[in-house]
Structure 1
Amino acid sequence: MVTGATGGIGEAVARRLAARGATVVLVGRSDARLDRARRRILAAVPHAELRTERADLSLLSEVRELAARLGEQPPPDVVVSNAAVIAPPDDVTSEGLQRTLATNYLAPYVLLRSLVGPIGGRRARFVVVGASPTVLARFPVDVHDPAAAPGGRRPAPGLKAFTCYARSKNMNTMLVHALADRLKGSRITVNGAHPGIIKGTGIGEDSLGALKSLSPLLNPFFPGPDVGADTPAWLATSPETEHVTGRFYVKRRQATTAPHTTDPARCDTLWIRTAELTGLPPSL
């Protein structure tokens, strides 16, 4: 299963997995976009076995419904959590959550946790698509209040939006460590991957100011989604990583992330605060 599979890196990952013979569940928030992505993948991989699941991952109610539907079937043995947005800090969902936080971090937290039970003793791989460890080192998370808005001396709206995004991606990295630690002894692995700075993802469509105006200028110099799909798809399928868990990769190489993303106490605190925020018990 691949979230955010209606374009960009997610679609490219889904296409790679389908080409390897996997039955791939495409997750997106629009039936029309899901259908177009399915058609594009079939044009490239005519034998592809594809299913679609519509869910708006910014709404935790829909994330829970998605997990419940998947739990009623043989659950996926690979989950690539790829869906992400950069939304303005004041963009709040109908559930009262900032959209970037909900989509990028709370959704995979709830979805992956919810799939652990149905997967049970089977072998499975969770791959969480993150961002540049170097850039993210400058954006530590307030683990006691993960929903806190960016502060500072009146930063520009675009910078605030990027700060929300960067923190959510650091939370993804911390989720990898916290969930992998809690799954020790199981047959489920959890790893993170930075796909690179990739053009054509549409991730900054809702961003503001300089962040949005710079994107078209920089895009021609960035590689496309196929390059971004390489490390996540490799983590999902490679025999080399079958038993590896709790690690983060860049260009198929294990990378070190900032100490504030790997500290066990910080990761545990964020896990507990997120459980409270999402209404889940702290214990997995």
Structure 2
Amino acid sequence: MTISNFTDSDVPDQDGRVFLVTGANSGLGYQVAKLLAGRGARVLLGCRSADKAEAAMADIRTVYPEADMRFIPLDLGDLRSVQAAAQRVSEEPRLDVLVNNAGIMMPPREETVDGFESQFAVNHLGTFALTGLLLDKLAQGRSPRVVITSSMAHRSGAIDFDDLNAEKSYSRWGRYAMSKLANLLHMYELDRRLRAADSPILAVACHPGVADTELARHFPGFLLSVLRPVTGLFMNTAAQGAWPTLAAAAGQDVESGQYFGPSRNNEWTGPAREVRPRSTAKRIEPAKRLWAVSQEMTGVTYSV
């Protein structure tokens, strides 16, 4: 059965399941964590700020007083933090679903503590490392899944293998689009490897369309001031933008290698359904090359 017109009301009971949601203190991640906790899941909130994570959990408990949640310190721009977070999660009795949601969008050029360009580091390398470190733990879970969040921006992306660190040139949008293409190349290569290994883990991806979240905080101020009053006309709310993630993470009859996004207005808004990426996202050779480079840059080698 193909998922179509999926909303939060289609998320089944999740009692007994454990989810790690990165970037869960605000925006899409918060909405995903809140809904899953409300459906009975144990939700691990992977966040940089303890204060923001605690505030998010307090807010969720005003609606779901019995919500089972735990804060996991996680900074995807710091590989040591990723290692420490994976260790904490590995101490949990189980992990069923990893929801790679956290990301950044169009900041000025910055480098992480590891010396990598921040958008590629946070959006791809941190996600790649965390997924690899938790893969064996996930393999022991119940109907395990890895969810990787991409964007419509992947359509204009290209992997600049000769300048991954943006030392020669930097475009805020170009590097964001590159990181989002990297997310899909990662997912499809992971899917191929998991299938070849006969693993029980599903690798799936999603994108939120155009959602009104803090991700756009680096947009020019004048543009936000113009767009904000009319966002409801062409943007999902954060709760609506979370529907594709929820479909990927908790929808029934999901198959490995599927990609979910909004169903209306050229994938900008609406309930979730399976969507098609640009063909470049499924190319095998760039995916293999990116995989090898990512293992070298992060020091994380996958078990598949």
Deviation at 1:254, TM superposition (A): 1.9
Distance (Å, rounded) in 2 between the aligned partners of 1:228 and 1:166: 19
SS in 1 for 2:165: coil
Hey, what does 1:33 align to over in structure 2? Answer: 52
Asked whether the equivalents of residues 191 and 248 of structure 1 are also in contact (C-alpha less than 8 Å), the reply is yes
Out of 106, 116, 140, the position equivalent to 2:158 is 140
Deviation at 1:147, TM superposition (A): 3.1
Q: 2:36 aligns with which of 14, 17, 24?
A: 17
Aligned to 2:80: 61
Alpha-carbon distance change, 143 to 44 in structure 1, aligned in 2, over 3 angstroms: farther
Distance (Å, rounded) in 1 between the aligned partners of 2:47 and 2:201? 24
Aligned pair partner of 1:246 in 245, 254, 257:
257
**Residue aligning to 1:198:** 211
Q: How many residues align?
A: 269
5+ long unaligned stretches in structure 1: 152-156
The 8 Å contact of residues 198 and 224 in structure 1, kept in 2 or not, is answered as yes
2:277 is aligned, of 244, 257, 269, to: 257
Instruction: Tell me which residue corresponds to 1:215.
Output: 224
Tell me which amino acid in the other structure corresponds to 1:204: A
RMSD: 1.9
User: What residue identity is the alignment partner of 1:29?
Assistant: R
Q: For the structure 1 residues 57 and 14, does the alpha-carbon distance in structure 2 shift closer, same or farther, using more than 3 Å as the test? A: same
Change in Cα spacing, 1:150 to 1:49, as seen in structure 2 (3 Å) is: farther
Judge which range, 183-192 or 215-224, deviates more.
215-224
Q: Which amino acid aligns with 2:298?
A: T
Q: Which of residues 229, 234, 238 in structure 1 aligns to 2:247?
A: 234
Matched AA of 2:222: S
| Cα shift at 1:282 | 6.8
Q: CA deviation at 1:280?
A: 2.8
Once the 2 structures are TM-superposed, how far is the Cα of residue 198 of structure 1 from its aligned partner?
0.8
% of aligned pairs identical? 29
Q: Secondary structure at the match of 1:240?
A: coil
CA distance, structure 2, for counterparts of residue 147 and residue 282 of structure 1: 23
Structure 2: gaps spanning 5 or more residues: 1-19, 263-271
What is the aligned partner in structure 2 of residue 154 from structure 1?
A: none
Deviation at 1:214, TM superposition (A): 1.5
Runs of 4+ with deviation above 4 angstroms? none
Question: What is the Cα deviation at residue 246 of structure 1?
Answer: 1.4
Distance 1:63 1:258 in 2: 30
Which sits farther off after the overlay, 244-253 or 1-10? Answer: 244-253
Q: 147, 162, 166: which is aligned to 1:127?
A: 147
Q: Give the superposition deviation at 1:118.
A: 2.2
Q: Normalization by structure 1: what TM-score? A: 0.88
Q: In 2, are the aligned partners of 1:5 and 1:83 still within 8 Å (CA)?
A: yes
Q: Which amino acid aligns with 2:183?
A: N
| Aligned-pair CA distance for 1:204 | 3.0
Match of 2:114 in 1: 95
Counterpart among 185, 197, 209 of residue 174 in structure 1: 185
1:276 aligns with 2:296: yes
Paired with 1:282 and 1:126, the residues of 2 have a C-alpha distance of: 14
Please identify, of 64-73 and 23-32, the stretch whose mean Cα deviation from structure 2 is larger: 64-73
Structure 1 283/270 Cα, relative in aligned 2: closer, same or farther at 3 Å? farther
Mapped to 2, the partners of 1:118 and 1:256 lie a distance apart of 30
Q: CA deviation at 1:80?
A: 0.9
Local SS of the residue matching 1:275: helix
